Amino acid sequence: MHEVILPMRTGLHAWEVPYGLRLAGVTTGYRQGGTYMDCMKTLFTWHNQTLNSWTMIFGWACSCWLLWWTVTRLQPEGWDLAAFWALWLCPTMHLPFTVGYHQFLSISPVVLRHWRALDVAFIFVASIPLTWGLAYFVMPPAAAAALTAVAVGLALHAWHNAAALPAGADIDKKANTRYVGLVVLVYTFPIVMRGAQDLLATYGPGADGVWPAVATALGVDPLYGAKCAAAVAFCFVYGAAVYTSSFPDVYAPGLCDLVGSAQQLMHLAIAGAHVVEWLFAIHMYQRRLLMPL
């Protein structure tokens, strides 16, 4: 697809690689050049992108396990089952492109920009099934479809504009976070909405204690939605904070080059948020079985 000019070199310092490959605060563990196969082989060696890929694989593996548990234990059917598959489809669609970006970026500046664009575009594309899967158990079908349509619109915008986004060392982390944050606000809206409804029914003006009593009698946590909303918010705020501040990379240069870098912490926060999204969907499915609309 792209001409390879340099053979693979590994174990490089920041000053040994082009500016575009350098990461703020990361001083060692760089690669440069190589073929696509060379880069895939380095998925099983130590460099400063190894755990960037594996933390994303970990998040996908969590989604796979939760899908298996849901299908085998709860045995949902029809559209209910499709909604859970939609949750799993999100990390599954994004995984090849995010791993590809982290593994192939060393080949050349052209390859880096190409896979960076695919990584960003598929964050938005993968958010489409996630939006539907979360909205399905919370919102009326028409509202769920409308919210999903918003995610589709953002994905089309990202697909059209991703190639023009900065890549490598030129990435504006704050601007990038704000851009991706748009679709995060869309697909987490059902969780926030349910959390707010649970809080209002429990503590809001005019709350009569009926909802907590009914929920407790049915074995349902009346504030589960609010707890999920708080947990998801924490994960995304934490992930955004460490990513945009390059913490701990710039505060202790060289210390976390291979393990514990800002990108890895952000990926783990995303994986945590996805697990909470699964738990929320499972809870709402079980709640609907107990209290049909």
From CA 115, how far away is CA 108, in angstroms rounded? 11
Q: Which of 202, 198, 180, 192 is nearest to 126 (CA)?
A: 180
Rounded to whole angstroms, how far apart are CA atoms 12 and 19?
Answer: 13
Binding-site positions read 102, 267
Residue stretches of the annotated binding site for Zn(2+): 102, 267
- The DSSP 8-state label assigned to residue 30 in this structure reads E
User: What's the rounded Cα separation, in Å, for the pair 54 and 45?
Assistant: 11
Integer CA distances (angstroms), 39 to 33, 47, 49, 143, in order: 9, 11, 10, 44
Q: 55, 264 in Cβ contact below 8 A?
A: yes
Residues 6+ apart with CB under 8 A from 69: none
3-state secondary structure 100-168: HHHHHCCCCHHHHHHHHHHHHHHHHHHHHHHHHHHHHCCCCHHHHHHHHHHHHHHHHHHHHHHHHCCCH
Pair of tokens at residue 96: 């090849």
State the Cα angle at 243 between 21 and 232, rounded to 5°: 140
Report the C-alpha dihedral over residues 278, 282, 287, 289, rounded to 10 degrees: 150
Q: How far is CA 125 from CA 60, 146, 278, in A?
A: 16, 16, 19
